[in-house]
Amino acid sequence: MAYKPSGDRILFITTGLLTIFGLVMVYSASSVVASSQHGMSSYFFLRQLLHAGIGFILLLILMNVDYHFWQKPKVIRVLLIICGIALVFVLTQPKINGAHRWLRYGGFLSFQPSEIAKLVLLMYVASYLQKYECEINQPVRRLLPFGIVIGLFAALIAIEPDFGQAICLCMITGVLLYVAGLSWRYITGAALLAIPVIYFFVIRVPFRLERMKSFLNPFHDPLGSGWQISQSLTAVGSGGLTGLGLGASKQKLFFLPEASSDFIFAVIGEELGLIGTSLVAIAFLVFFYRGMRIILRSEDRFGFYLGLGITLMVALQGFINISMVLAMMPTKGIALPFISQGGSSLLLNLLAAGVLLNLSHHNRPVEANE
């Protein structure tokens, strides 16, 4: 007997639990700073709650929008143009924390076009590979125009500057190309071309070079460039097995920078200990497993590539953020999906989860005892 599932309930529940847990931790990690900066302890929490509400509404909508809609050339073309214009326009806006990343609407809300651009580009990549999968090793006819589009968007994101997000986008695209059958000679060529890019964007940029030094020796300058990572490790180490208790973090009291955003995993470790951080890691493993399960049952190649891109996007960002907090990778502005404070990131991940859940609606029938 066969059946066709109406949707992946486990993925939906996992997404919901991660988001709700994120709201709790954002309030815990940001309340003191919010009270000091804005006179209201729930300031950042309310912003996150608003984006979570909007995001879940959009998730429910996209769950019921046939994912083939995003494959239409006119739809992809319009979305790419809108995202391209937004990425150019954001460069004209005033800097916030040293970067041109945000478009503000009112004094309470802001938005990063680069976040939504990632999802749109995944749709473009999936559509392109579905159409030209058998011709992907034609360098001039197929790879060149594809590379120009990806390179243009990656460059716009990198000069905001947001080099970490640009690298993530290129890594996911590279994996999708490899799965599509791209020859190793082109992969090797791309890696060689990336060397001078990394040199000029990392080695020649003082603050990124300092991050590399801090990664190699987190405590070489604990009061300077190593302050953030040393405070992060202190927070995680202080939590032990069970943590100090929800709300009891000491490092969030103006010691750990970006405690509610990029380094919220450190606060989780301090307040909820190894048990809390392990449960978060398990939740992301569940998301990854369910995502892979969905794409392996996809009814067409577009769904396969789109689902794979979305699953990798969430899993890769989660892995990078956790590794960064634990000093296993250099620090970079990569949020912990669904959990870190940041409305744009939360909206992106909820939108992406909605598309992935719609993919599960269209999965091929499976045996009931599977």
How do residues 335-359 score in pLDDT, each as one tens digit? 999 999 988 899 999 999 999 999 9
Given this model, what pLDDT does residue 2 score?
Answer: 42
Q: What are the tokens at 135?
A: 């011709």
Give tens-digit pLDDT for 286-302. Answer: 999 999 999 999 989 99
The distance of Cα 277 from the centroid of its chain, to the nearest Å, equals 18
pLDDT digits (tens, 9 = 90+) for 132-151: 999 889 988 999 999 999 99
**Residue-averaged pLDDT of the chain:** 88
Q: What is the pLDDT of residue 245?
A: 93
3-state secondary structure of 291: helix
pLDDT of residue 140: 87
Question: Of residues 183 and 219, which shows the higher confidence score?
Answer: 183
Determine the pLDDT at residue 45: 94
Exposure string (b/e) for 279-299, b if CB count within 10 Å is 16 or more?
ebeebbebbbebbebbbebbe
Token pair recorded at residue 76: 């992809």
Beta-carbon contacts of 47 under 8 Å, excluding residues fewer than 6 positions away, are 108, 109, 341, 343
> What gap in Å lies between CA 251 and CA 232, rounded to an integer?
8
Q: How far is CA 199 from the centre of its chain?
A: 24
pLDDT band per the 50, 70, 90 thresholds, residue 195: confident
